């Protein structure tokens, strides 16, 4: 896994300074008594982007440069742009999980399957609202842990089943 380097952080900061000049200078003043040294800003950005992969960073940087938003994203928000784009939202995961319960050909992730297994007893008891709430909680925790470890979203593949063939009996005479 390629960690984001200081040069890439500098590229991000340069982009923020260019696109959101007034907001950047207000949030990270370079002069005056509340001045923040650029090296401190770089270190904060670098620590915030731990676990972000190169392709995720490039996608979020592209979004930053083309979005045309009125407000500058914080480094934490930029991180969610990086990571959030590659993971299903809890709502999408829940929707797919519900479809998966009736159609096993629906594509879900391993984390979605884990969260579904955790709440299946509630679904079977007819407590869909409680199941959804617990699913969201479990899913969000598991996704956060996976993101901290730098994992990518992995799709669930059902375990292989033993094949059962009808035995052909040939009587011995």
pLDDT tens-place string over residues 50-106: 878 888 888 888 888 887 778 888 998 888 888 766 678 899 999 999 999 999 888
Q: Is the Cβ–Cβ distance between 131 and 119 less than 8 Å?
A: yes
pLDDT tens-place string over residues 145-157: 887 777 778 888 8
The residue extents of the domains of the chain are 6-84, 90-148
Strand-pairing partners, residue 109, are: 155
pLDDT tens-place string over residues 10-56: 999 999 998 888 899 899 988 888 889 999 999 999 998 887 888 88
The rounded distance, in Å, linking the Cα atoms of 51 and 146 is 10
């Amino acid at each position: 896994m390629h960690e984001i380097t200081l040069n890439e952080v500098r590229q991000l900061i340069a982009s923020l300074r260019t696109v959101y000049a007034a907001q950047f200078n207000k949030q990270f003043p370079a002069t005056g008594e509340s001045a923040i040294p650029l090296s401190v800003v770089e270190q904060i950005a670098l620590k915030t982007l731990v676990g972000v992969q190169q392709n995720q960073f490039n996608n979020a940087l592209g979004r930053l440069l083309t979005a045309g938003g009125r407000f500058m994203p914080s480094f934490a928000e930029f991180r969610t742009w990086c990571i959030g784009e590659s993971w299903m939202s809890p709502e999408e995961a829940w929707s797919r999980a519900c479809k998966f319960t009736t159609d096993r050909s629906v594509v879900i992730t391993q984390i979605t399957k884990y969260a579904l297994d955790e709440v299946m007893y509630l679904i079977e008891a007819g407590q869909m609202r409680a199941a959804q709430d617990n699913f969201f909680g479990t899913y969000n925790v598991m996704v956060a842990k996976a993101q901290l470890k730098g994992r990518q979203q992995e799709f669930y593949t059902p375990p292989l089943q033993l094949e059962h063939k009808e035995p052909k009996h040939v009587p011995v005479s």
